[in-house]
Amino acid sequence: MAFTPLNGLNAYLEVARRKSFAAAARELGVSPSALSQSVRQLEARLGVSLLTRTSRSVALTDAGQRLLEHAGPAVEQALESLKTVSARPGEVTGRVRLSVPASSVSVILAHVLPRFIARYPKVEVDVRVEDRLVDIVAEGLDAGIRLTESIERDMVQIRLSHPARFVVAAAPSYLARRGAPQKPADLLQHDCICMRSPTSGGRWAWELERGKKEWRVPVQGPISTNDMELRRRLAVAGVGLLYAFEPLIADELRRRKLRLVLEPYAPLVPGLFLYFPSRAQVSPALRAFVGVARDLSGKPGERPRS
């Protein structure tokens, strides 16, 4: 990889976004050693360290973070402009980088992505499924999907799902063995399939509400995991009570593999929203994705920024 400031910058930006030389090298089609050399040459040219490297991880220095935030969008726009030169008039090309929670995969993306790729075959979609809160601007992403309460108020928000509840459910076998809780405090006497925070690793308290009163119950149980699919399977097997976004267990509820408990205390949330920083920065590829997602959601309205 012959070094020039621009390809060195592009190499650095790919590493910075992915926090990994190996992943960035695969994306760029070069060896990790060649990529590392290119980044080191850029650092030498600038006279600053951009990355802190260990044997296991890559982190951005303050200078590296500033370079990612300032140069990332401009380089991405330049690369997208080059792609449009070979595109036919009206043809959409480019890439859409998304950060989404696991809850959106079956509820939204499984329906949106096949339709989108069929309509825009020259757009590449890069989906990062992660339940941690992500700064999409700092990490060089185009957009994200989250519950609206997790989205910064200065973001444009497009509704993708109907309002839905967080519910407590259990298999009939568990309810026959242990009975059903009647009030939130009863959860402390039950086996609960606990959730792990993707950021702190601690157990999440289950949030319930009725009217203006709210509860955060520090449940306990034999198993804790951050994987929703595993929690769902364990609940169906009768291991314990499950706390979940209701659309994710709709099939199990319909087939009576799971039954709702504490239903009067189930909190209702506005739903999942696609969000991005500003219309001024929206690429043609992202604009196309927004259009398909909004059409399939059946909810054309936007939530205004405040």
Q: In the chain, at which residue ranges do the beta strands (DSSP E only) sit?
A: 51-53, 58-60, 94-100, 123-129, 143-147, 156-159, 164-170, 193-195, 206-210, 213-217, 223-225, 242-245, 259-261, 268-269, 272-276, 302-303
Residue 159 and residue 263: Cα distance in Å, rounded?
25
Structure confidence at residue 302 (pLDDT): 46
CB-based contact 285:80 (threshold 8 Å): yes
Q: Are 232 and 244 in contact (CB under 8 A)?
A: yes
Burial class (CB in 10 A: 0-12, 13-18, 19+), 267: middle
Where is 23: in which H helix or E strand?
A: helix 21-28
Exposure pattern of 282-298 as b/e (b: 16+ CB <10 Å)?
A: bbbbbebbbebbbeebe
pLDDT of residue 199: 66
In Å, the largest CA–CA distance within the chain is 70
pLDDT, residue 93, reads 87
**Model pLDDT, residue 65:** 85
Half-sphere exposure of 114 (CA within 13 A, CB side): 5
Helices 32-46, 21-28: crossing angle, 10 deg rounding: 100
What is the Cα Rg of the chain in Å? Answer: 23
User: What pLDDT shows up at residue 35?
Assistant: 84
pTM: 0.67
- pLDDT for residue 37: 87
Residues of the chain with pLDDT under 50: 1-3, 299-306
Distance of alpha carbon 23 from alpha carbon 89, whole angstroms: 33
Distance CA 191, CA 221 (A): 5
Size of the chain, expressed as the number of residues it contains: 306
Q: Write down the residue that tokens 């993708």 correspond to.
A: 160
Instruction: Measure the CA dihedral 247/194/225/273, to 10°.
Output: 30
What does the block give as tokens for 41? 């040459």
Domains and CATH numbers, the chain: 5-83 (1.10.10.10), 87-163+270-303 (3.40.190.10), 164-269 (3.40.190.10)
